[in-house]
Structure 1
Amino acid sequence: MLSNAILAVGGLAALSSAHVLISTPIPFSVPALHNGPLAADGSDFPCQNTGGGYQVGSTNVMALGSTQPLNFIGTAVHGGGSCQISITYDTAPNKNSVWKVIHSIEGGCPAKNTPGNLGNDPNFKVPFDYSFPLPTDIPAGNATIAWTWLNKIGNREYYMNCAPVQLTGAGGPKSNWEALPDMLKANIGNGCTTKEGFDYKYPNPGKSVESFATGQLIFPDGNCGPSGPSGGTPDSGNGGGAPAPAPGGGSGAPSGGAGSGGGYGGSPAPSAAPPSPSKGGAPGGGGVFITVSTPASGPQETAAPQAPPAAPAPPAAAPPAAAPPTAPSAPSSGGGFAPGTACSPEGQWNCIGGTSFQRCASGTWSAVMAVSAGTTCKVGASSAMEIDAVSSKKRRVALPFRG
């Protein structure tokens, strides 16, 4: 029992180096992202910056009105949680920068239907792909995009990764950007906190919102900013935080052409039931990446104009009667199940040959993933996958670790 406890602590230490980072959009090269949360006192807000400036390795060129991919690496997904995508027109954001929300994901971010973590590999591609729409009528120009995350399980933390972007297209006036909601900040000593074990509903998520929540949605506690008309009512919880003054300062946005305020170039992605884990795939349309060593002074590559949206399809015919439930598939000769085939019970692990594994999530088997170097798993399907260190042969049991 004692050795298992010691090994569990070792597993927590390993997970601390496997927290999630954004891989798309491409983040700043300086500050070099660490894959942990912001400091609890907010000293490295925003963007994990401690005063050393910013350096652009790759600028993400995005067309206003397009839909952009959002992908992650790492395995310490902390049961998911809620995420926001926000924009500032400060290209070197500081503590006074104003961040405006363009997309909110309430529950199931950065992992859907995942009760704990996915392992301890910092380079593992998270098998859930997300996207976010860019408004059509905010100003074009250079800006910074932030991904922020309120984790569901583990310590009460706030994650923030930032990426440089060039927004192309006609755009709209500064007032359209100013009318967007303020980015929510929590767990960094600002009087706004979250309770462990819940998915979080944003007081003012904006017009573009998705939800992949599998449990209760609650508002954060405390001084969390004003509520908006799109905030809605949580399934359960504390009733929301008290209003706070809107943040000030920052250089704001450049002025642009006419616009209607908060317009998006198409409907937001539907809030469908969580899909089974995928193996990834090509990023969504509209995104181009260019590599630069210093801020460009000359013309930059812009995205091609988008084709007009297709006319709406006629109403679909009534669906046929549902087919009988598919029985769980039998394992292949190698001991694995074909990804995407039916499985039960939910959450079951399957170790294949001691060197790789997969999991039953959302009723289907995930893609096969390798175990960490220097370890082996106990072959077969079980509710708690057993891991041995190759060198010491001491057993470690996979649990939804905190950290």
Structure 2
Amino acid sequence: MKLFITSAALVALSTLALLSEAHISFRYPCPRYAPYSECPRPNDNQWHLVDYDVQSPLGTHNAISDPICKHPASFNGVRPVLKAGQTVQTKMEVDVNHNGGSCQWALSYDNGNTWVVIQDHFQNCLATAKPSSTFTLPVKIPANAPTGNNVILNWIWNNNEGNRELYSSCADVVIQGTNGGSLSGVAPLFANYGPSSPYIPEKAVSNGDWGKQYFDARKNITITVPAQKLKRQLVN
């Protein structure tokens, strides 16, 4: 894993030991407070905020350790511009693939208060990702996605094998699409995220149960975004 390398970061290097228990996160687009060299850099007084455990799950079915997105914001920097209708080649930093699982990708235009799923990949998402690798997952931005200057792209994953965990990796992006409009879909499923959440067992020991009944029961949702002026950013 390629990390920030500066003298200011040396005081935090002891936390790199946490990566031995890490699993998977976005690498592109950059997740919030991530240590990857491609990501926005912290200011001199922000190095203590760098998340060297960015690949870890948010919790298990027994307990919640972090909120969805883990962090309330990103470091200041240029956000990638994703165009409506574009297929984005997202990059995942993979430590362990847990024999795959079920992925959801969702957008939020209100800093995570409301989400709408834009793509699913059930059962074998990341199953072919090699340990300690960077793996590409294509994600299509809906053709009718409204323009948004402060949008979050969230990858959500329930693993097939191991502890019953929930993973989430949030990247702050700009969407270049219709100038005002709405986006419809389903609200994401947050399973294995505390004892009050739906429980998805290990697939191999549950007669192939991967939580289909819970994904099928996701609620329909429509979000409406007012017209706004697109900020000048880096188009990817």
- Fold match (TM-score > 0.5): yes
User: What is the distance in 2 between the residues matched to 1:154 and 1:15?
Assistant: 17
Distance 1:299 1:36, change over 3 A: closer
Answer yes or no: is the 8 Å Cα contact 2:89–2:138 preserved in 1.
yes
- Give the 5 Å matches for 1:142-181: 142=149, 143-170=151-178, 173-174=181-182, 177=183, 179-181=184-186
Partner residue, 1:227: 217
Deviations 1:122-154 (A, max 9, x none): xx323x422011111121112101001101100
Deviations 1:163-222 (A, max 9, x none): 001001335512xx2x21101101112330111035xxxxxxxxxxxxxxxx9463257x
Deviant stretches of 4+, over 4 Å: 13-16
Answer yes or no: is the 8 Å Cα contact 2:23–2:56 preserved in 1.
yes
User: What is the distance in 2 between the residues matched to 1:98 and 1:82?
Assistant: 21
Among candidates 3, 27, 44, match of residue 66 of structure 2: 44
Distance 1:227 1:34, change over 3 A: same
User: What is the distance in 1 between the residues matched to 2:18 and 2:180?
Assistant: 47
2:124 counterpart of 1:108: yes
User: What is the distance in 2 between the residues matched to 1:182 and 1:31?
Assistant: 29
Shift of 1:253: 4.5
One-letter amino acid of the structure 1 residue matched with residue 82 of structure 2 = M
Q: Could you list the runs of 5+ residues in structure 2 that have no partner in the other structure? A: 1-16, 34-48
User: What is the distance in 1 between the residues matched to 2:104 and 2:230?
Assistant: 32
Deviations 1:316-357 (A, max 9, x none): xxxxxxxxxxxxxxxxxxxxxxxxxxxxxxxxxxxxxxxxxx
Q: Could you list the runs of 5+ residues in structure 1 that have no partner in the other structure? A: 1-12, 119-123, 199-214, 229-244, 258-296, 305-403
Partner residue, 2:86: 66
Among candidates 19, 29, 35, match of residue 25 of structure 1: 29
Partner residue, 1:85: 105
Q: Which structure is richer in relative contact order (CA contacts within 8 A, separation 6 or more)?
A: 2
Shift of 1:22: 1.1
One-letter amino acid of the structure 2 residue matched with residue 184 of structure 1 = L
Distance 1:28 1:58, change over 3 A: farther
Answer yes or no: is the 8 Å Cα contact 2:201–2:209 preserved in 1.
no
SS class of match (1:158): strand
Among candidates 202, 205, 219, match of residue 196 of structure 1: 202
Distance 1:125 1:58, change over 3 A: farther
- TM-score, normalized by length of structure 1? 0.43
Partner residue, 1:396: none
Distance 1:22 1:102, change over 3 A: same
Partner residue, 1:254: 225
One-letter amino acid of the structure 1 residue matched with residue 25 of structure 2 = L
User: What is the distance in 2 between the residues matched to 1:299 and 1:256?
Assistant: 13
Distance 1:28 1:57, change over 3 A: farther
Distance 1:43 1:63, change over 3 A: same
| Structure whose CA Rg is larger | 1
Percent sequence identity over aligned pairs: 26
Deviations 1:296-317 (A, max 9, x none): x99413649xxxxxxxxxxxxx
- TM-score, normalized by length of structure 2? 0.70
User: What is the distance in 2 between the residues matched to 1:15 and 1:166?
Assistant: 29
Answer yes or no: is the 8 Å Cα contact 1:18–1:75 preserved in 2.
yes
Query: Please, which moves more after superposition, 142-151 or 53-62?
Result: 53-62
SS class of match (2:225): coil
Partner residue, 2:8: none
